[in-house]
Amino acid sequence: MLEAFQAALDTPGLFWLFLTIGAAGLVRGFTGFGTAMIFVPVGAQFLPAADVVFLMVLMGVFSTITLFPQAWSTADKAEVGALAMAAAVTVPAGLWVMSQLDPLTLRWLAAAVIGVTLAAVISGWRWQGRLGWPGRFAIGGAAGVVGGMTGLTGPVIIVFYLANVRDVARVRANTIVFLAALDVVIAANLIFGGMASLKAVILACLLGVPYVITTLTGKALFDPGLEKLYRFASYSVIGLAVVSSLPVFD
Q: What is the DSSP string of 25-47?
A: HHHHHHHS--HHHHHHHHHTTTS
Helix locations, 32-154, DSSP H: 35-43, 49-74, 77-100, 103-123, 133-150
pLDDT at 129: 61
Average of per-residue pLDDT across 182-210: 90
pLDDT at 163: 63
> What does the pLDDT read at residue 140?
93
**pLDDT for residue 72:** 92
Contact present, 40 and 151 (Cβ < 8 Å): yes
Listing DSSP states for 229-247 in one string gives HHHHHHHHHHHHHHHHT-G
Write down the pLDDT at residue 46: 92
93-110 per-residue burial string, b: 16 or more CB within 10 A, e: under 16: ebbebbeeeeeeebbebb
Residue 5: which H helix or E strand, with range?
Answer: helix 2-9
Please state which of the ranges 166-170, 175-179, 187-191, 243-247 shows the lowest mean pLDDT.
Answer: 166-170
Average pLDDT rounded to a whole number, residues 113-122? 84
